[in-house]
Amino acid sequence: MENKAINKKVVITGGPGTGKTSVIKELMDRGYKCYDEGSRDVISQINLKGQTFKSDPLSFSDSLYKARTEHYFDSQKKEYKGKTVFFDRGIHDILAYLRYINKNNKYWENIILNYKYDTVFVFPPWKEIYTTDKERHEDFKESEEVNFAIIKLYKEGNSDIVEIPKTGIEERVNFIINHLFGNGQ
């Protein structure tokens, strides 16, 4: 889908269980290029080995980083020039989570300096829609804490941060589109 923004990288982020993936699916249905977060696939593979992502968070983070950097560089291809692309979480989210569990280090602090996103939409924790499952182990309080760590990190990078209202999926997507493109889109 062509749009008015030029080479715009947009992150959809927030704590676990805030409705990000549902919005990404709706954006895809509307014709936008979207990249999935990759976490669920990595967590599923770890679970098959009888482990959890918390048992080796640095290895887990390396796997996510590999997937997300592939997405980031893929979004720069000629075919996406003049288009806005959406990421279900950005590379910065990896460091935010590592900070949250006190596993960050200089390596991870430096990695994020190489990646820039134009707009970051933060989905706030929303108790009424929050659920856990085989891949989402955090409770609601942890979701709130992770969300705070994510916001703090993106603010440090001077990102354009926009909080998403707690509304239905279509309303959230319309809010994002209106924010990025105005009412003309």
Q: Where are the domains of the chain?
A: 8-184
Task: Report the DSSP beta bridge partners of residue 87.
Answer: 11, 35
What is the pLDDT, as a whole number, of residue 63?
Answer: 82
What is the pLDDT, as a whole number, of residue 42?
Answer: 61
Phi-psi region of 84 (alpha: psi -120 to 50; beta: other; left: phi over 0): beta
Model pLDDT for residues 83-109, shown as the tens digit of each residue: 999 999 999 999 999 999 999 889 999
Structurally, at CATH architecture level, domain 8-184 sits in: 3-Layer(aba) Sandwich (3.40)
What is the pLDDT, as a whole number, of residue 130?
Answer: 75
d(Cα 13, Cα 6) in Å, to the nearest integer? 21
What is the pLDDT, as a whole number, of residue 64?
Answer: 84
- Identify whether the C-beta of residue 99 lies closer than 8 Å to the C-beta of residue 21: no
What is the pLDDT, as a whole number, of residue 151?
Answer: 95
Which residues have CB under 8 Å from 14's CB, separation 6+? Answer: 20, 122, 123, 124, 125, 147, 150, 164
CA angle, corner 101, sides to 88 and 41, nearest 5? 35
Model pLDDT for residues 142-154, shown as the tens digit of each residue: 889 999 999 999 9
Sign of CA dihedral 43, 46, 50, 53: negative
**Residue stretches of the chain with pLDDT short of 50:** 1-5
d(Cα 16, Cα 132) in Å, to the nearest integer? 9
Structure tokens at 40: 């669920």
* Closest listed residue to residue 35, CA positions, set 89, 83, 81, 80: 89
What is the pLDDT, as a whole number, of residue 67?
Answer: 87
**Predicted structure pTM score:** 0.86
d(Cα 60, Cα 3) in Å, to the nearest integer? 35
Rg of the Cα trace of the chain?
16
Helix axes 169-181, 20-29, angle to 10 degrees: 70
